[in-house]
Chains A and B, each alone.
Chain A
Amino acid sequence: MKHVLGNKKAIALFVVPGLILYVGLVFVPVIWSFVYSLYSGTPGLSWSFSGLKNYSKLLIDSKFHESLMVTIRYILTTMLGMVVLGLALAMMYRFWLVKFKNLIRTITFFPVILPTVAVGQLFRKIYEIQPNYGLLNSILDAIGLHDLVQPWIGQASTALGCLSVMDIWVSVGFYAVIFYGGLIDIPDDIIEAAKVDGCSSWQMFKNIIFPLLRPITITCLVFAFAGTVKVFESAIALTNGGPGSATTTLSMYMYNVAFEYRNYGYGSAIAIVIFLICIIGTRIIRFFDVKEA
């Protein structure tokens, strides 16, 4: 093995095909987008070099600022929700509902395989207020909480939260399965030993389970970050970015600018910003990993 890996030709044989694919599929489009971001207009009609004009426009475009804030709020709430609830569910399978764990796991994993558009339509009905109350408003109305009946996805104050709830509901089963995989890897004797030593549930979680799950948690955070930063189809299906721009995320705004306003240059500049957010976000998450190591 050492002989093979010491051979530069052999290394090249293993690495080069993958590297070419990776460069072709990741780096070339990024560079291409960057070049596009230096142009204005629509290709074929009026396409001209405009230098850094698109980037300076980012500074004064209030819709860009709004969508950036929406994206950041969405990432923080949804990422946290997915990972924390995923962990809680996994703990439930492992310690509490051991007998029913397969059934519960199947039920909570089920939304992961549903098409996003179907989930969007389902939740539109749940949050509905006109012409008839949806499930949520009907329940609130039935238990006498009529004051809480409201257009959940029709007002800026609750729309983003409703979107987060929907996406957490969809993904939580996936994270629970990953965490469960980590939990069953923790040897029973460690947990037994902790119990014998009089460890409380909270102490056991804080000092034993969570530290042992740290690599899994980092992986889940990276998955959740990558999933939430590019949120697009679920927002389209549930709210279509509305009301106003309350749920218009960066990727939706980029799509609108590039493909609906046919302003490919400015759209590419926004894409570059999303790319930078991805890099910075992943670096921040990896920072915790390195610290532990």
Chain B
Amino acid sequence: MKKKAMALVMAAATAISLMAGSLSVSAATDPDTSAEKKIKVLSIWAEDSADGKILTGMLDNYTKDVNPNFSYEYEYVSASDLSTKISTLVASNDLPDLFAYSAGVPLRELIQAGKVVNVSEELKAMGDEDKVMDSAKSIMTSLSDTDDLYDLPFGMNIEGFWYNKSVFEDAGVEVPTTWDELLQVCDTLKEKGIQPIATGGSDKWPTTRIVNAYAYRTMGADAVKKACEGETKFTDDGFVAAAQMVADMADKGYFGEGATTVDNTTAEGMLLNGQCAMLYDGSWFTSSITDEETNPSGEDNIGFMGVPVVDESVSEASELPANCGNILCLSQDKYDGAMAGFLQYFVENVGNYAMGDYQSVRGYTYDVDTKDISSVTQTVIDAIADAKTSTAWWEAYMNDETKATAQDNIQSVLNGDMDGAAYMDSIEEAYTISN
């Protein structure tokens, strides 16, 4: 009898502990703003870069203003080594408390393995759901293919063509609003001996973004996502036409000679120095535009024209490629009250801190005065505000193998070694083999 009672008690205790265990997985953690903790931060931003200063500034301010018992160890790793570093840390079950990572397929793997904190759940419990911009939320959940946020934005970028105003004026051309006009402008510039567009073909991604620009303008914002989910094929006519468009533009010499040897920084320099008329780039380019050292001709000489429209019924003019850059994640294993305290402070303050001190939109709401900010930053802010919908970049939904093929072979397209159809065939092949 005693044994039976004991067994019952044990069973009840086990059941309760199991329930408590399952509850603790789904329930949010209460922030603890006095707990002693030293966290590890893995970042791809050097401490003296603007991004690094914002991140360390937030960490320092939290220690100074809120929790003096909180400290951190900042480790820098180059962006190209980030995925290797994270996969090694995952394998050894030692993800840092806070780390930079890539949105899309890499993050999805961590979510599926339960390695990262459900940020939405935490923010909801803190009452800070509205601190992350809705546009950032929709980009990030679409990339991770989840309803909840599992990452924090650390940027809010839009992309499109930038142009050198004085080069346009000298050549007597107007800013194009449709893709046909863009091609006409390119022809005119070419005739006048001006390189129409610079593209960082050596870095590869700046050129795939142009394929993406034409693809989403002709096929809709979700074209690449559908192909990556197997709904459509990369060899569909629309994609082939987009790749062929870039091949034709390269063939006509719009990108200049040897575009595959030019990196994006050089291409940016070419636009700023008037060695070309246009450049496709993201809004992170504003930091170079506003820097007198890199742009001696002044920020007013550079304008943003977005992506010319092809068919307004498919994609409206205000719809632009947007992304949150590299994102921040929190390790599930290391997450506790002390970390929750920092998370709360971070989302509540980073928007104002980044805008107030660095004139930078980071994907968080802010209410500081933006009167004194530069005109080019204001253009970006307005474009973000105007965009009701957005699209991702070319490789956003691709797995690593497909992404590498898409990027490597764009150089062959620029060289004329591959036409649009062959380029899209190679992507479809990589997609099929890797899946």
Interface residues of A (CB under 8 A from B): 42-46, 57, 60-63, 124, 127-131, 149-151, 153-156, 240-245, 248, 256, 259-263
- Asked if A42 and B258 make an inter-chain contact with CB atoms under 8 angstroms apart, the answer reads no
B404 at the interface (CB under 8 A from A): yes
Tally of contact residues, B, Cβ under 8 A: 42
Q: Mark B390-414, 1 if CB is under 8 A from A, else 0.
A: 0000000001110011001101101
Q: Which one of A63, A127, A248 has the highest number of Cβ atoms from chain B below 10 Å of its Cβ? A: A63
Q: Which one of A153, A155, A263 has the highest number of Cβ atoms from chain B below 10 Å of its Cβ? A: A155
Pairs A–B under 8 Å by Cβ, sample size 30: A42-B90, A43-B90, A43-B91, A44-B91, A45-B90, A45-B110, A46-B113, A62-B429, A128-B258, A129-B258, A130-B262, A131-B262, A131-B266, A131-B270, A131-B275, A150-B258, A151-B257, A155-B258, A155-B417, A156-B415, A156-B417, A242-B411, A243-B415, A244-B412, A244-B415, A244-B417, A260-B83, A260-B400, A260-B404, A263-B401
Contacts of B90 in A (CB 8 A): 42-45
- Asked if A42 and B433 make an inter-chain contact with CB atoms under 8 angstroms apart, the answer reads no
Which of A60, A129, A153, A242 makes the CB contact (< 8 A) with B257? Answer: A129
- Asked if A259 and B84 make an inter-chain contact with CB atoms under 8 angstroms apart, the answer reads yes
Q: Chain B interface mostly helix, strand, loop or mixed? A: helix
Not counting A45-B90, A156-B417, A244-B411, a sample of 17 additional A-B residue pairs whose C-beta atoms are within 8 angstroms of each other reads A43-B90, A45-B110, A57-B433, A61-B433, A63-B405, A124-B261, A128-B258, A130-B256, A130-B258, A130-B259, A131-B269, A153-B261, A154-B258, A244-B418, A245-B409, A259-B84, A262-B400
Inter-chain residue pair count (beta carbon < 8 A): 115
- Asked if B412 and A156 make an inter-chain contact with CB atoms under 8 angstroms apart, the answer reads yes
Contacts of A128 in B (CB 8 A): 258, 261
Alpha-carbon separation in the docked complex, A127 to B257 (Å): 12
Contacts of A124 in B (CB 8 A): 261
Contacts of B87 in A (CB 8 A): 42-45, 259, 262
B331 at the interface (CB under 8 A from A): no
Contacts of A256 in B (CB 8 A): 404
B201 at the interface (CB under 8 A from A): yes
- Asked if A245 and B261 make an inter-chain contact with CB atoms under 8 angstroms apart, the answer reads no
- Asked if B433 and A243 make an inter-chain contact with CB atoms under 8 angstroms apart, the answer reads no
- In the complex with contacts A62-B429, A130-B262, A151-B261, A243-B412 CB distance below 8 A: yes
Which of B257, B399, B408 makes the CB contact (< 8 A) with A244? Answer: B408
Alpha-carbon separation in the docked complex, A43 to B113 (Å): 12
Name the interface residues of B235-285: CB closer than 8 Å to any CB of A.
256-262, 266, 269-270, 275
- Asked if B261 and A261 make an inter-chain contact with CB atoms under 8 angstroms apart, the answer reads no
Alpha-carbon separation in the docked complex, A112 to B282 (Å): 41
Q: Which one of B83, B408, B412, B417 has the highest number of Cβ atoms from chain A below 10 Å of its Cβ? A: B408
Contacts of A43 in B (CB 8 A): 87, 90-91
Q: Mark B69-100, 1 if CB is under 8 A from A, else 0.
A: 00000000000000110010011110000000
Which of A45, A241, A261, A262 makes the CB contact (< 8 A) with B113? Answer: A45
Q: Which one of A242, A256, A263 has the highest number of Cβ atoms from chain B below 10 Å of its Cβ? A: A242
Q: Which one of A60, A153, A259 has the highest number of Cβ atoms from chain B below 10 Å of its Cβ? A: A259
Alpha-carbon separation in the docked complex, A127 to B405 (Å): 25
Name the interface residues of B374-395: CB closer than 8 Å to any CB of A.
none
Alpha-carbon separation in the docked complex, A208 to B202 (Å): 50
A222, chain B: closest CB distance, angstroms: 32
- Asked if B91 and A261 make an inter-chain contact with CB atoms under 8 angstroms apart, the answer reads no
Contacts of A42 in B (CB 8 A): 87, 90-91, 109
Contacts of B434 in A (CB 8 A): 261
A60, chain B: closest CB distance, angstroms: 7
Alpha-carbon separation in the docked complex, A242 to B259 (Å): 12
Contacts of B225 in A (CB 8 A): none
A256, chain B: closest CB distance, angstroms: 6
Q: Which 10 pairs between the two chains have the least Cβ-Cβ distance?
A: A151-B258, A243-B411, A44-B91, A244-B412, A129-B258, A261-B400, A154-B260, A154-B261, A43-B91, A154-B258
User: Which residue of A has the minimal Cβ distance to B402?
Assistant: A261
